[in-house]
């Protein structure tokens, strides 16, 4: 086993904590957006144009993020990476095919930009944080 300096150990712990914090903060935001969309007037979130199906998905991924960040901290990096891929794919689909699921998810243009912002935030921490952790191992 290679010798570890205290600085490297602290840095790994800090990266793991950033992964957990990101999962908790963005998970809480997604949970709030999901709840607001489900209890909002008309069953949808007017700002994002999200219908009940999209709001339920926000709620589900948000609660999952809270659970991973608060309880299963070792899975936070994987959660962040998965959410980056999921929300990035949803944003790209929305931009490429604006009417891909009309009437089912009621995903508006603001929702696509929200997905893109989520993908960027999750990806920045999930992928680049993981790469920084790998560099510390060598």
CB-neighbour burial class of residue 99 (10 A; exposed 0-12, middle 13-18, buried 19+): exposed
What is the pLDDT tens value at each position of the chain, 138 positions in all?
455 555 555 566 666 788 899 999 999 999 998 888 888 755 555 656 667 888 889 999 999 999 999 987 789 999 999 999 999 998 898 888 877 655 555 556 778 888 999 999 999 999 887 666 554 444
Torsion sign (Cα): 92, 15, 74, 53: negative
Asked, for residue 1, whether it belongs to a domain, the answer is: no
What does pTM read for this prediction?
A: 0.78
Let me know the angle formed at the C-alpha of 85 by 79 and 14, rounded to the nearest 5 degrees. 40
User: Total domain count for the chain?
Assistant: 1
Q: Under a CB-based contact definition with an 8 Å cutoff, are residues 83 and 122 in contact?
A: yes
Range of the domain at 104: 6-137
Residue 100: name the closest of 42, 117, 108 by CA. 108
């Amino acid at each position: 086993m290679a010798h570890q300096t205290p600085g490297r150990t602290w840095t790994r712990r800090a990266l793991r904590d950033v992964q957990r914090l990101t999962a908790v903060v963005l998970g809480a935001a997604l949970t709030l957006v999901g709840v607001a969309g489900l209890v909002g007037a008309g069953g949808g979130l007017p700002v994002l144009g999200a219908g009940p199906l999209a709001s339920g998905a926000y709620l589900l991924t948000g609660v999952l993020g809270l659970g991973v960040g608060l309880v299963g901290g070792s899975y936070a990096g994987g959660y962040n990476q998965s959410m980056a891929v999921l929300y990035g794919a949803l944003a790209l689909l929305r931009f490429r095919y604006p009417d891909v699921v009309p009437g089912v998810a009621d995903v508006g243009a603001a929702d696509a930009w929200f997905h893109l912002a989520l993908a960027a935030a999750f990806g920045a921490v999930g992928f680049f944080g993981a790469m920084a952790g790998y560099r510390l191992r060598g």
